[in-house]
A and B are shown apart, each in its own frame.
Chain A
């Protein structure tokens, strides 16, 4: 596999050159924080960031996506016939995605792409995307990727990985997709042993910097109903204001709602992100709401991530340890603490 070294200026130039073959998304400073945006003449990629405020999940799974459309004009030949909306699945690349966020797509994959169900839109967008990661030299204090199967230089879900060596980027292709991407990138030179060694050292040092250790080893052995009835949920939920920050910022929250929107004779069927924090999420047509109370909704979020997912997919927890919810929850509800409570619940009791 290709291993190249670029000065930072060369790398940005190479990305500009790749625009003819790929729609390229890069981290861009937008006010107080960074966001992934499509690279064009007006955008300056900025790889000097800890992580983007919003995860890049919307690039594969948009917050609102028109999936079908229909014409309500009775006289039209296609009246009331539902048709798939036009989509753009041309090649795209997310450059500078952090390993936790790339890992997150692997975590959600079993939901969108499994033998029983295949979500055509998620899959096609995912498959048309090349993921070029950027290793974390300095993970944040709320990062706990190493506890949940990732790492600051984890290659999970990545097609290529960038190492920030100061003035230069070392970039390694990891898959055929990554190889194709790098082969089309202009400039750079083949990485020598010194650069490769520097990359390895950087990765080893970064992993040591993660002080957070969140134990998840006992979650699988717990009895679902016992965790469900655990006495700590009221305490966990008290401060929660039931907003959608945790779920919308989370790279692994995947729930959606489907809505029809009609303007005159034009109808659109739209898939929108939804949040288990909202009472509307579970409101039945009958008016009954099985999760009418805040504590039930808060419990659902943590049980889904740390127990139901664990049991259903045998693929670890539904969390990549990015720490966004920890940093941005306005009520300071901290998944690391909740995980500790769940993982340690009734440890001394024989099940």
Chain B
């Protein structure tokens, strides 16, 4: 995806020159390998900072919430779906945005790569199309990118942006035949005690840093329920029940809204597979309501509509 870089710079430069945007949000190359940084630029002289490769894992939609200026923004499939969600939830207006669509072939799972090199320190990474090479002090390894995609990217069926003002390149082929919910089905088959045990062990390393919440573009509440003090819904100590309450409630707040962008899982400092919570709700939304979040501006989000003619009895 490195071939996009020049095109992104050119497009951002053009937008500033034509006066179409006040700022442009993209990524710049990070100071450590496999870690790019979201960046906001405010004039054409800064476009050379812009960068794109398979390490752009934070969701840029996070940086749009309640902005009042005209913004150019790069968006791949999942980020574009979050932009749709943001627009339908009134967090930003479509008129303010110039969306530069990026056909995406997935992000690299930095943890899987670290595991593959036995946790040795990676000093550099180079991408060459379908493969990438990592280098350290006394090693160099080349991997097939498809074998090291972030787990959400390996089951993604919306790699191309669903909303854009211009595309940086022709669309990429969508993946078909993926079973996005294989792991969820395994959990569904467990009895309640086993499920509880599974999730308890899954989050036992959680340090309540809230990186998962803060990396999530859906988590824009002015005050999160865990931060409320009157009344205080959740204890602030590292008690496992409070930690579980946080994770489960947060997941429910994302029901029918999550685009499975994977940012929560990517940022977790202790490697918790947090998507196991949200994926179950995505699966339910899809199976019960044929709903996938953020695909169109024409429909209200799944859980904020009431129709008197709803075909479900329980809701009438």
Chain B residue numbers with a CB within 8 Å of A44 are none
- On whether the beta carbons of B31 and A53 are closer than 8 Å, the reply is no
Interface of A with B (CB < 8 Å)? 30-33, 50, 53-54, 63-64, 138, 140-142, 238-239, 241-245, 248-249, 257, 259, 261, 270, 272, 275, 278-280, 283, 326-334, 336-337
* Complex Cα–Cα for A33 and B271 (A): 9
Q: 17 A-B contacts, Cβ less than 8 Å apart?
A: A50-B119, A50-B121, A63-B238, A64-B237, A64-B238, A239-B38, A241-B215, A243-B267, A245-B269, A248-B209, A259-B236, A275-B209, A329-B35, A330-B267, A332-B32, A332-B35, A332-B36
Q: Tell whether B211 is near chain A: CB-to-CB under 8 Å.
A: yes
Please give me the 3 A-B residue pairs with the lowest Cβ-Cβ distance, nearest first.
A330-B267, A243-B211, A64-B237
* Complex Cα–Cα for A241 and B227 (A): 16
Chain B residue numbers with a CB within 8 Å of A336 are 31
Query: Which residue in A54, A259, A279 is a CB contact (below 8 Å) of B227?
Result: A279
- On whether the beta carbons of B30 and A332 are closer than 8 Å, the reply is yes
Nearest-CB residue, chain A, relative to B124: A141
User: Whole-angstrom distance from the CB of B31 to the nearest CB of chain A?
Assistant: 5
- On whether the beta carbons of B115 and A32 are closer than 8 Å, the reply is yes
User: Whole-angstrom distance from the CB of B201 to the nearest CB of chain A?
Assistant: 11
User: Whole-angstrom distance from the CB of B255 to the nearest CB of chain A?
Assistant: 22
Nearest-CB residue, chain A, relative to B227: A280
- On whether the beta carbons of B209 and A257 are closer than 8 Å, the reply is no
* Complex Cα–Cα for A329 and B214 (A): 12
Interface string of B206-221 (1 = CB under 8 A from A): 0111110111000000
Q: Tell whether B88 is near chain A: CB-to-CB under 8 Å.
A: no
Chain B residue numbers with a CB within 8 Å of A326 are 31-32
Query: Which residue in B31, B39, B210 is a CB contact (below 8 Å) of A243?
Result: B210
- On whether the beta carbons of A63 and B207 are closer than 8 Å, the reply is yes
Interchain Cβ contacts within 8 Å, total number: 107
- On whether the beta carbons of A331 and B31 are closer than 8 Å, the reply is no
Nearest-CB residue, chain B, relative to A334: B31
Answer whether A242 and B35 are a contact pair too, CB < 8 Å, given A54-B207, A64-B238, A272-B236: no
- For the complex, count residues of B whose C-beta is within 8 A of A: 42
Chain A residue numbers with a CB within 8 Å of B236 are 257, 259, 270, 272
* Complex Cα–Cα for A219 and B266 (A): 35
- On whether the beta carbons of B211 and A245 are closer than 8 Å, the reply is yes
- On whether the beta carbons of B62 and A241 are closer than 8 Å, the reply is yes
Q: Tell whether B198 is near chain A: CB-to-CB under 8 Å.
A: no
Q: Tell whether B252 is near chain A: CB-to-CB under 8 Å.
A: no
Q: Tell whether B123 is near chain A: CB-to-CB under 8 Å.
A: yes
* Complex Cα–Cα for A306 and B208 (A): 26
Chain A residue numbers with a CB within 8 Å of B211 are 241, 243-245, 330
Chain B residue numbers with a CB within 8 Å of A261 are 235, 237
Chain A residue numbers with a CB within 8 Å of B207 are 54, 63, 244, 248
Q: Tell me the chain B residues, 245-279 only, with Cβ under 8 Å from chain A.
A: 266-267, 269-271
Q: Tell whether B194 is near chain A: CB-to-CB under 8 Å.
A: no
Q: Tell whether B137 is near chain A: CB-to-CB under 8 Å.
A: yes
Nearest-CB residue, chain A, relative to B36: A332
- On whether the beta carbons of B121 and A243 are closer than 8 Å, the reply is no
Q: Tell whether B21 is near chain A: CB-to-CB under 8 Å.
A: no
Answer whether A141 and B237 are a contact pair too, CB < 8 Å, given A238-B63, A241-B215, A331-B58: no
User: Whole-angstrom distance from the CB of B237 to the nearest CB of chain A?
Assistant: 4
Chain B residue numbers with a CB within 8 Å of A275 are 209
* Complex Cα–Cα for A226 and B213 (A): 34
Q: Tell whether B114 is near chain A: CB-to-CB under 8 Å.
A: yes
Nearest-CB residue, chain A, relative to B215: A241
- On whether the beta carbons of B38 and A244 are closer than 8 Å, the reply is no
- On whether the beta carbons of A243 and B32 are closer than 8 Å, the reply is no
Chain A residue numbers with a CB within 8 Å of B270 are 33, 53-54
Query: Which residue in B214, B266, B267, B271 is a CB contact (below 8 Å) of A31?
Result: B271
* Complex Cα–Cα for A238 and B71 (A): 14
* Complex Cα–Cα for A333 and B39 (A): 11
- On whether the beta carbons of A53 and B38 are closer than 8 Å, the reply is no
- On whether the beta carbons of A244 and B210 are closer than 8 Å, the reply is yes
Q: Tell whether B97 is near chain A: CB-to-CB under 8 Å.
A: no
Q: Tell whether B7 is near chain A: CB-to-CB under 8 Å.
A: no
Q: Tell whether B162 is near chain A: CB-to-CB under 8 Å.
A: no
Q: Tell whether B179 is near chain A: CB-to-CB under 8 Å.
A: no
* Complex Cα–Cα for A300 and B214 (A): 19
Q: Tell whether B134 is near chain A: CB-to-CB under 8 Å.
A: no
- On whether the beta carbons of A64 and B209 are closer than 8 Å, the reply is no
Q: Tell whether B66 is near chain A: CB-to-CB under 8 Å.
A: no
- On whether the beta carbons of A332 and B31 are closer than 8 Å, the reply is yes
* Complex Cα–Cα for A257 and B226 (A): 14
* Complex Cα–Cα for A242 and B215 (A): 9
Q: Tell whether B239 is near chain A: CB-to-CB under 8 Å.
A: yes
Q: Tell whether B37 is near chain A: CB-to-CB under 8 Å.
A: yes
Answer whether A32 and B271 are a contact pair too, CB < 8 Å, given A239-B39, A244-B210: yes
Chain A residue numbers with a CB within 8 Å of B32 are 141-142, 326-327, 332, 334
User: Whole-angstrom distance from the CB of B219 to the nearest CB of chain A?
Assistant: 10
Answer whether A239 and B37 are a contact pair too, CB < 8 Å, given A50-B121, A249-B269: yes
- On whether the beta carbons of A53 and B269 are closer than 8 Å, the reply is yes
User: Whole-angstrom distance from the CB of B261 to the nearest CB of chain A?
Assistant: 13
Q: Tell whether B99 is near chain A: CB-to-CB under 8 Å.
A: no
* Complex Cα–Cα for A224 and B199 (A): 47
- On whether the beta carbons of A328 and B269 are closer than 8 Å, the reply is yes
Interface string of B9-36 (1 = CB under 8 A from A): 0000000000000000000001110011
- On whether the beta carbons of B210 and A238 are closer than 8 Å, the reply is no
- On whether the beta carbons of B209 and A245 are closer than 8 Å, the reply is yes
> Which of B38, B63, B205, B214 has the largest number of chain A CB atoms within 10 A?
B214
Nearest-CB residue, chain A, relative to B55: A332
Answer whether A244 and B208 are a contact pair too, CB < 8 Å, given A272-B238, A332-B31: yes
* Complex Cα–Cα for A261 and B30 (A): 42
Q: Tell whether B40 is near chain A: CB-to-CB under 8 Å.
A: yes
* Complex Cα–Cα for A272 and B239 (A): 11
Q: Tell whether B128 is near chain A: CB-to-CB under 8 Å.
A: no
